[in-house]
Amino acid sequence: MKITAVETLYCNAGWRNLSFLKISTDEGLVGWAEFPENHINNVLSPLIRHMGQQIVGEDPRRIHPLIDRLRRAAWGVPFGAVSRSIGAIENALVDIKAKALGIPAYELIGGKMRDDIRMYWSHCGSYHVTNWKDLGVPRITSLDDVKALGRQVRESGYHALKTNLMMFDKAEPYMYRPGFAGGSGDPDRNPLRSAISAAVDQMTAFREGAGPDIGLKLDVNFNFRTEGYIRLAHALEPLDLDWLEIDNFDAKAIAQVRRASRIPIASCETLSGRRQLRPFLEEQAVDVVIIDVPWNGIYEAMRMAALADSFEVNVATHNFCGPIATLISAHFCAAVPNFRVMEMDVVQVPWTNDLITNPPTVERGYMRLPEGPGWGAEVNEEALRAHPPVAAKH
């Protein structure tokens, strides 16, 4: 079996585009992966196509030698976009090999440990502020709306929700996002009292709406520096959050937050591979390691999880993407021993499940993988063409 083509395909997903990798072979088998890239100006596509040309003509079932070759070719720039491009190629090769063997992909990483995968409702409320028109959901404009959404989460059967920091102190609601280019808030990432108060009010409203049995998670990304995260964590302690999710590339800084707060700390979703993860475990910086499986590749993700397991830390997945990325993440979650929970964007465009041939079953906050070899589904290219990509939105 030989690789004959490496292609990238795209489709409109409302407020963003979804990016897919297709690796074809001379025996008719096709491997699929998904690689989120909108927030980094679509730089992964040309990298993936360039790297993919280096393995055209090779046997796709030789996954480790091929991926090792690509990593050695990129030692000068081993992390970031390069690592994410290699991760996408790895995932597509895993899909091909599993199909060639007639087995689900999780069998290639040790076998399934659980049939039903526990998920939480991610970006809960966030998309109701930023992308409600694209997604066809009611707009959130007040804390009363937040309470109502909390009730909806409970009634839908999800055990937990995760949200981002919403602000209602201006004429129009907005997201507090100074850690991102073009985001609202203090660009120096100082701990503004108004933002911390808004976080407490928002999570209080979710608690009142969802009730005492629903877990609450708050993701504030790169939006503060160490001092700000500590002040925010102290203010939120009475609300008994599942975790406070923060991003920082300094393991000692996150460890300082963890030591200063009673709230569990989750992080690491932006890291590439074991080498970047190791300092966060050695510094005992996190209670939950979040791993992005589409970006890292499922084999490297399993190695990261094993490293976390040796430090008695469970792992969750970073999953804010389309249906193939969700399946890739779910195969990881089905097989990893030290599993915490899987992230899931419950609110998506209506045609999301049309993009694959065999969508997974989701009931009462649990996912069951579709049966079949590889990821268990193919990308429906006709559906992609029915929803052509739009100009990138930043």
3-class SS of residue 251: helix
Mean pLDDT, the chain, whole residue set: 95
Residue 37 lies in a domain: yes
Report if residue 366 sits inside a domain: yes
217: Cβ contacts below 8 Å, ≥ 6 apart: 120, 160, 161, 162, 163, 241, 242, 243, 244, 245, 266
From 67, 83, 103, the end of a domain falls on 103
* CATH code where residue 116 lies: 3.20.20.120
Q: Are residues 197 and 244 in the same domain?
A: yes
Asked whether residue 41 carries a pLDDT value surpassing 70, the answer given is: no
Q: Is 381 part of a structural domain of the chain? A: no
Task: Tell me, yes or no, whether 91 and 221 share the same domain.
Answer: no
Q: What residues make up the domain containing 150?
A: 108-375
Q: Domain containing 81 — which CATH number?
A: 3.30.390.10
The number of distinct structural domains making up the chain is 2
Cβ atoms 137, 347 nearer than 8 A: yes
pLDDT for the residue numbered 392: 55
Percent above pLDDT 90 for the chain: 92
DSSP state of 159: S
Q: Indicate whether 392 belongs to any domain.
A: no
Q: Using 50, 70 and 90 to split pLDDT, how confident is the model at 74?
A: confident
Amino acid letter for position 342: M
Question: Going by C-beta distance under 8 Å and a sequence separation of 6 or more, which residues neighbour residue 49?
Answer: 6, 7, 8
Instruction: Give Cβ neighbours of residue 297 (< 8 Å, ≥ 6 apart).
Output: 67, 86, 87, 88, 89, 90, 91, 94
Tens-digit pLDDT profile for residues 155-210: 999 999 999 999 999 999 999 999 988 889 999 999 999 999 999 999 999 999 99
**Do the domain assignments include residue 382?**
no
Are residues 91 and 239 both part of a single domain?
Answer: no
Render pLDDT for 130-156 as a digit per residue (tens, 0 to 9). 999 999 999 999 999 999 999 999 999
Q: What is the pLDDT of residue 80?
A: 85
Judged against a pLDDT cut of 90, whether residue 15 lies above it is answered with no
pLDDT at 29: 98
pLDDT digits (tens, 9 = 90+) for 335-353: 999 999 999 999 999 999 9
Length of the chain: 394
Same domain, 135 and 92: no
Q: In what order do the strands lie in the sheet containing 17-25? A: 3-12, 17-25, 30-34
Residue 332 belongs to some domain of the structure: yes
Q: Look at residue 394 in the predicted model and tell me its pLDDT.
A: 42
For residue 342, the SS3 value is: strand
Average the pLDDT over 375-392 and give the result. Answer: 93
The more confident residue out of 168 and 391 is 168
Rounded to the nearest 5 percent, the helix, strand and coil shares of the chain are 40, 20, 40
Percent of the chain at pLDDT > 70 equals: 98
